[in-house]
Structure 1
């Protein structure tokens, strides 16, 4: 009795195909997509992996056509769009390497096909590929072309496998559940969700945004690296922040792709958008993106419309997309306090404040050094430590505003900034002023900050610790005397 019980349990574990005609089972094919007529002889070189060029996927009530291009996989139907590289790579990987798990039945009856869900398959994939020759060619060689059509049926609840059939092969096979997961994809799953990109700051020439709370226009400077705000006020723009905003905006994921019609655009509020952005690249058509919000079943829903030339894409997106570009002037301004060409600096003047004489460091020929040596001018002059001056230049170049204060200040003396203020002046070889930093009073209730004025027109707040290292005497730029600070002999 115990033996009989084990047999019954074993049959149950095998699933619906356990009672199939065992004598009719042929050996299981080695792969879903077999490129050779028979499995390679052991020890022989493995056949070259097929290179897939076209996929037709019928699933989720739709048919999706995909083609491989030089830029990657693209959907050609039901829409023209970039394919999701992860979804297509997973599909190609299964087609290339997956093996059938078992042969369920070699000659299924109509009743068995219905039982396995193969009378009306849940998904069908037709894949075209070529087997490359030794040099990787063969795409146009008819003898190297291969095509297979796989139809997937129901899932076996006992082990999660899926029933599969191949065109030209009567047998029903079992494949691992991951095969279903990879092949059973509709147009949305196979389509790239990041539909707004690319919005590469490196190739854009201007960015104009009109949003709910803010509006601005940014243009690229002639140097091709920096940005300038034109509206609402002319000033240097924060290039790194602009790049961050573009990356965040271009990375928005589509939640769905509704049908794009004039009626749909109007119903979704895109005729009067909350955000209207225009991106002008150095080459190609400008890109316009509009975003609007409507209420659906009591919940806010946001849609984005991307237009470039004759192409348009409508997508539902996360509500956070509405605020990604809706930023104010302080966030877009360049926080660098000083703007100067570092390689042109040949003279630094450190003014301690009041009527005290400045500490001056100049770069040029000297008896003690070469033409690039830094030398302290004045009665207590001499060679300056090169790395110390270079470090000071780096600190001044990277000095950032912690906050912006009053714009277009009329009375700088209110903040302790004037001719007698502590300051630093940078000059070129001809003595022309490249940049100037003024340091003023401590910010009320912010003792760790000082008011400052730099290359722009705004009142700034800078960290007191960031400027604490500015030299006040020649000794700050020289090597310590032998034997210690007092010049005496070491104990």
Structure 2
């Protein structure tokens, strides 16, 4: 036999072996798993709504069962869910809020799930192993009551139902799952959605909202202790603006305070400490990297502690919450959560440039800058109308003055650059700078706006200063929109010369 003939024989032998293996896999494994022999009777619901022999519910229009207790036993652990006072909770192996959407999805599936086919009524041990039912991939027990036609029966013990079923592997034929109900020898097929919903550990059923109940509108005091500084914000009542009490005393930026809580709500629990990690995590939380104390108008303060440490081979951040209306929680969070509760105090400085109300202003002086002659306007005591006093007397354009005052009252900085009146010259802010002085009826200065140099490499921002000693970056467009020229404020239509 030559080499060519030998190769041909080897090829034929290989083909026979591969074919035999293919037939074995199909008939020995795939085909039995894919078999769906017809059942002489309708298989029915996974969770029956009537007891054997009881007329009505299963035979007629099904009544939706109201589930009150579900136990899910997986090889990695058992989770028990209970409906308490209208909310689902995990009661074992921990006591915690359950993720409402996840539980409701499971409840709907349990209420609607039907057996799609009967695989066999007398499974052998070998078949049960092949279907993943010996041992099962999951064992589920559920209790519910089935309302009567009028929607009642919650307190009627005769309408209470319970079922236990075992979940097997996925049927490769159509993605369905093998199921066997306790007390019933049959093996059924059911929707694969049930398998997807059930095969999650306890942490998958837990509510992952850590900061969802925090509401800035209900607080009177916020204390943030970080690694570098302590920030304290206070207000007398919930309708008052926030004031910074530490590390400096000044009005706080209300929008920046509110942003703490909107940012926190973006961070969810990404896990929970393993039992073997608990001692190390708890020790770290005794000396937290960041700590927040929130004092509400009503109720007890809430304390939030965050620590960062290396466990399980990785650096992780953990948060502990206690007090307030929320139940205590210990969870792993994203490490960036620490930065939300440790912002630079400068961030909270109010961005409002002028501390003034437009209605208080009776006189104003517009400074054109340099050697330009100031423009003085006063409100007439008899007419209550604005008049231009210098450099050219005449009636003012009332809507322009009102627009100027309104814009100045609302003017907010883009950023705080520095603090200190002596630093002004560095940014082009001097007594001869462009700007506006606002006064009351007696000529007492209420506030002044200084407009300095353009911000280098940023044509959209200009340096400025207002009621405080803070140096700001102001919007160049907002400043250019202010009517600060004589021709803009003088009503030339009333016979005044330009």
TM-score after normalising by structure 1: 0.79
- Cross-structure match for 1:457: 469
- Cross-structure match for 2:13: none
Q: State which of 323, 330, 333 in structure 2 corresponds to 1:317.
A: 333
* 2:161 equivalent to 1:149: no
* 2:421 equivalent to 1:409: yes
- Cross-structure match for 2:221: 206
Q: State which of 474, 483, 488 in structure 2 corresponds to 1:476.
A: 488
- Cross-structure match for 2:398: 384
- Cross-structure match for 2:35: 18
* 2:95 equivalent to 1:83: no
* 2:455 equivalent to 1:438: no
**Pairwise CA distance, 1:357:** 4.6
Which runs of structure 2 are paired with 1:264-343 in the superposition (5 Å)?
264-265=279-280, 269-296=284-311, 299-308=314-323, 312-341=328-357
- Cross-structure match for 1:178: 193
Q: Quick one: structure 1 residues 361 and 169, their matched pair in 2 at CA, closer, same or farther if it must change by over 3 Å?
A: farther
In 1, the alpha carbon distance for the partners of 2:380 and 2:168 equals 80
What's the secondary structure of 2:42's corresponding residue? coil
What's the secondary structure of 1:288's corresponding residue? strand
**Pairwise CA distance, 1:411:** 6.2
Backbone CA RMSD of aligned residues? 4.1
- Cross-structure match for 1:360: 377
- Bigger shift: residues 93-102 or 106-115: 106-115
In 1, the alpha carbon distance for the partners of 2:442 and 2:161 equals 74
Note the alpha carbon deviations across 1:8-52, whole angstroms, 9 max, x for none: 9899876437387x6x643121x33343567878xx8x5443333
Note the alpha carbon deviations across 1:304-345, whole angstroms, 9 max, x for none: 222337964322222222333222123232222234456x45
**Pairwise CA distance, 1:190:** 0.2
* 2:179 equivalent to 1:164: yes
Q: State which of 409, 427, 434 in structure 2 corresponds to 1:422.
A: 434
Note the alpha carbon deviations across 1:57-102, whole angstroms, 9 max, x for none: 2225322222334563222222221111232122112112232221
Q: Quick one: structure 1 residues 80 and 233, their matched pair in 2 at CA, closer, same or farther if it must change by over 3 Å?
A: same
Q: Quick one: structure 1 residues 61 and 123, their matched pair in 2 at CA, closer, same or farther if it must change by over 3 Å?
A: same
**Cα contact 2:396–2:491 (8 A) shared by 1:** no
* 2:109 equivalent to 1:94: yes
**Pairwise CA distance, 1:350:** 4.8
State the structure with more CA Rg: 2
**Cα contact 1:153–1:162 (8 A) shared by 2:** yes
**Pairwise CA distance, 1:174:** 0.8
Q: Quick one: structure 1 residues 307 and 130, their matched pair in 2 at CA, closer, same or farther if it must change by over 3 Å?
A: same
**Cα contact 2:218–2:238 (8 A) shared by 1:** no
**Cα contact 2:407–2:482 (8 A) shared by 1:** no
Note the alpha carbon deviations across 1:104-123, whole angstroms, 9 max, x for none: 22343444334323343222
Q: Quick one: structure 1 residues 417 and 157, their matched pair in 2 at CA, closer, same or farther if it must change by over 3 Å?
A: same
Which runs of structure 2 are paired with 1:20-35 in the superposition (5 Å)?
25-29=40-44, 31-35=45-49
Q: State which of 63, 66, 81 in structure 2 corresponds to 1:51.
A: 66
- Cross-structure match for 2:17: none
- Bigger shift: residues 327-336 or 354-363: 354-363
Note the alpha carbon deviations across 1:156-212, whole angstroms, 9 max, x for none: 233322111234433221112111111223211000122344222122222222223
In 1, the alpha carbon distance for the partners of 2:345 and 2:301 equals 24
Note the alpha carbon deviations across 1:285-316, whole angstroms, 9 max, x for none: 32222222223465322222223379643222
What's the secondary structure of 2:339's corresponding residue? helix
**Cα contact 2:363–2:441 (8 A) shared by 1:** no
TM-score after normalising by structure 2: 0.78
Q: Quick one: structure 1 residues 442 and 319, their matched pair in 2 at CA, closer, same or farther if it must change by over 3 Å?
A: closer
Q: State which of 232, 238, 243 in structure 2 corresponds to 1:228.
A: 243
**Cα contact 1:336–1:398 (8 A) shared by 2:** yes
5+ residue gaps, structure 1, are: 1-7
Q: How many residues align?
A: 464
Note the alpha carbon deviations across 1:352-388, whole angstroms, 9 max, x for none: 346745353759985xxxx9xx755543215623xx5
* 2:76 equivalent to 1:64: no
